[in-house]
C-alpha cells in the first residue's frame, strides 16, 4: 500500500509538471509535449561469432548448457547459460558486469563470473574449445567441446528457445555437429557426448534439440516487463538533430535524436548505453501525436524489425484509451517470421502492451506483456542536454 501511495504521488507530480511545461512553452510544437517516442517494449538484438550447446541427460540440476562467445582480443565477451531441469529457467553467467546489470534489470537470473575460454587445434584438424566457470553455489563447471570447423554447413531457418522469457529468436549462419571428445564436467559428474544426430528440419529445432557448434549467431528478443523513464531534455520542435534525453529508474541513459522529418514521416535514432546497437524508430506524426510505424534494431550487417499496422501509439501523459494493432516480426531478408495482434492500453503515464501471436505455431501459446511509463520533471532543458 505504501508503495502504491508513493507511486500515485509521483504520478500526480508528473502530471502537474507537465502542465507547467505546457504552459511555459505554449508556442512550441505540441506533438513534443503530447506524446513521447519511447517504445513500450524492450527489444534486444545481439550478434555473437560462436555458439556452443550441449544437452545434459542425467544431471540432477541442469538440462542444458549454452555458451555465447565473442573472443575479441580488446574486449572478450562470454555468456554461459544453464537451464534449470525442474523449472526450465535460464541462469545466465557473464564476464560483463554491464550485461549482468541489463539482464537483472528485466528480471532475469544473471551473475558475474570470471569465465575461462581457450581453444587449440589438433593434428587431425579437430578444434578443442575449453570453457570453465563456477556456478552460484561454487560448483566448478568445465566444458571441453570438440568440433571440426571445416565441417560447418549452412544453417537455414531459426531456432527458438522454449521458455517464458518473452519472444526469443535465434539464427545461425553455419553449424557443425559435436565430435567424440566433447565432455561436460559439473562438480565430480562427467557428461560425455551421447549423440551426434541432428534434426534435418531447422524450423522445428529448439535450442535444446542436440549438441552442436555454430557460427554467426543472432539472438533477437522482445522481453517482458516495463520500465519507468524520466525526461531530462525536450526538443524545441520536430526538426533534424533535436533530441529527447531520458534516464530510466535504473539509471540507464537514453538519447532520442531526430534524424529526419519529411512531411508526416519522422525518423528517430535511439542510443542507449550499449552504443554498438543501432535502434531506429520510424514514426508518423498525426495531428499532435506521434505514432510508431516500426522499430528496427541493427548490429553489424543484421537487423531485427517489428512493424505495426495501424501505427502503435506512444506513451502519453493524461490519456486513458485502448488501441488494437497488428504486428509483424522480420529479420534480415525474412519478412514475416512471426505475426499477431496486440492491445495497447494507456492510462495516465503508463502504456501496457498485451501481445498475442498468431504465427508461427510455437509462439501461439505465448502471452506477453510489455510497457513503459514516462515522467516529465518540472526542471527540464529545452533543446539542449542537461548537464
List, for residues 278-336, the tens digit of each pLDDT value. 899 999 998 878 999 999 998 878 889 999 999 999 998 878 999 999 999 998 888 88
State how far the Cα of 244 lies from the Cα of 232, in Å rounded to an integer.
8
pLDDT at residue 137 in the model: 92
The H or E element containing residue 294 is strand 289-299
HEC states along 77-126? Answer: EEEEEEEECCCCCEEEEECCHHHHHHHHHCCCEEEECCCEEEEEECCCCC
Task: Domain ranges for the chain, please list them.
Answer: 2-20+29-37+226-382, 45-222
How far from the centroid of its chain's Cα atoms is residue 322's Cα?
25
Q: How many CB atoms lie within 10 A of CB 198?
A: 16
Cα dist. 385→166, 243, 277, 290 in Å?
34, 8, 21, 22
Instruction: Give the CA count within 13 Å in the CB-facing half-sphere of 321.
Output: 10
Q: If we measure between CA atoms, which residue out of 376, 357, 34, 53 comes closest to residue 222? A: 357
pLDDT of 31 reads: 59
CA-based max dimension of the chain: 76
Q: Which residues pair with 52 in a beta bridge?
A: 67, 213
Instruction: Give the model's pLDDT for residue 37.
Output: 93
Show Cβ contacts of residue 323 under 8 Å, excluding neighbours closer than 6 positions: 310, 312, 313, 343, 344, 346
∠ CA 239-242-246, rounded to 5°: 140
In 3D space, the residue among 108, 116, 109, 113 whose CA is nearest the CA of residue 135 turns out to be: 113
Res 29: pLDDT:
61
Q: State the average pLDDT for the chain.
A: 82
Distances (CA, A) of 239 to 221, 265, 386: 31, 11, 19
pTM for this predicted structure: 0.76
Residues of the chain predicted below pLDDT 70: 1-33, 156, 160-165, 195-209, 274-276, 377-387
Q: Give the pLDDT score at 164.
A: 55
138 is written with which cell numbers? Answer: 561454487
Question: Rounded to the nearest 10 degrees, how much is the dihedral formed by the CA atoms of 326, 330, 333, 337?
Answer: -90
- Residue pLDDT, tens place only, 1-43: 433 333 443 444 444 344 434 443 434 466 566 788 999 998 8
Amino acid at each position: 500500500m505504501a508503495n502504491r501511495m508513493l507511486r500515485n504521488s509521483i504520478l500526480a507530480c508528473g502530471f502537474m509538471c507537465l502542465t507547467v511545461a505546457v504552459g511555459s512553452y505554449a508556442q512550441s510544437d505540441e506533438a513534443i509535449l503530447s506524446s513521447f517516442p519511447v517504445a513500450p517494449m524492450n527489444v534486444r538484438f545481439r550478434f555473437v561469432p560462436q555458439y556452443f550447446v550441449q544437452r545434459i541427460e542425467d544431471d540432477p540440476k541442469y538440462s542444458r548448457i549454452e555458451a555465447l562467445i565473442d573472443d575479441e582480443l580488446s574486449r572478450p565477451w562470454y555468456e554461459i547459460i544453464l537451464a534449470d531441469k525442474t523449472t526450465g529457467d535460464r541462469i545466465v553467467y557473464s564476464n560483463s558486469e554491464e550485461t549482468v546489470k541489463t539482464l537483472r534489470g528485466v528480471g532475469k537470473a544473471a551473475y558475474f563470473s570470471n569465465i575461462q575460454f581457450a581453444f587449440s587445434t589438433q593434428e587431425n584438424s579437430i578444434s578443442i574449445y575449453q570453457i570453465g566457470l563456477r556456478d552460484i553455489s561454487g560448483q566448478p563447471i568445465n566444458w571441453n567441446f570438440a568440433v571440426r570447423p571445416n565441417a560447418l554447413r549452412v544453417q537455414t531457418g531459426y531456432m527458438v528457445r522454449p521458455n517464458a522469457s518473452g519472444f526469443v529468436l535465434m539464427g545461425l549462419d553455419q553449424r557443425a555437429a559435436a565430435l567424440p571428445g566433447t565432455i561436460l564436467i559439473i562438480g565430480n559428474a562427467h557428461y560425455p557426448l551421447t549423440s551426434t544426430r541432428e534434426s534435418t528440419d531447422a524450423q522445428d529445432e529448439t535450442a535444446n534439440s542436440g549438441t552442436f557448434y555454430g557460427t554467426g549467431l543472432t539472438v533477437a528478443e522482445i522481453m517482458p516487463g516495463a520500465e519507468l523513464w524520466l525526461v531530462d531534455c525536450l526538443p524545441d520542435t520536430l526538426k533534424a538533430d533535436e533530441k529527447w534525453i531520458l534516464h530510466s529508474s535504473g539509471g540507464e541513459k537514453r538519447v532520442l535524436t531526430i534524424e529526419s522529418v519529411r512531411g508526416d514521416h519522422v525518423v528517430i535514432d535511439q542510443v542507449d548505453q550499449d552504443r554498438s546497437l543501432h535502434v531506429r524508430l520510424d514514426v508518423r506524426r498525426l495531428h499532435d501525436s506521434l505514432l510508431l510505424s516500426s522499430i528496427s534494431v541493427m548490429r553489424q550487417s543484421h537487423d531485427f524489425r517489428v512493424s505495426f499496422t495501424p501505427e502503435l501509439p506512444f506513451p502519453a501523459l493524461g490519456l486513458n484509451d485502448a488501441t488494437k494493432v497488428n504486428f509483424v516480426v522480420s529479420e534480415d531478408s525474412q519478412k514475416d517470421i512471426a505475426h499477431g495482434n496486440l492491445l495497447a492500453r494507456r492510462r495516465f503515464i503508463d502504456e501496457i502492451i498485451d501481445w498475442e501471436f498468431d504465427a508461427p505455431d510455437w509462439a501461439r501459446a505465448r502471452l506477453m506483456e510489455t510497457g513503459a511509463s514516462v515522467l516529465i520533471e518540472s526542471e527540464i532543458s529545452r533543446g539542449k542536454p542537461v548537464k
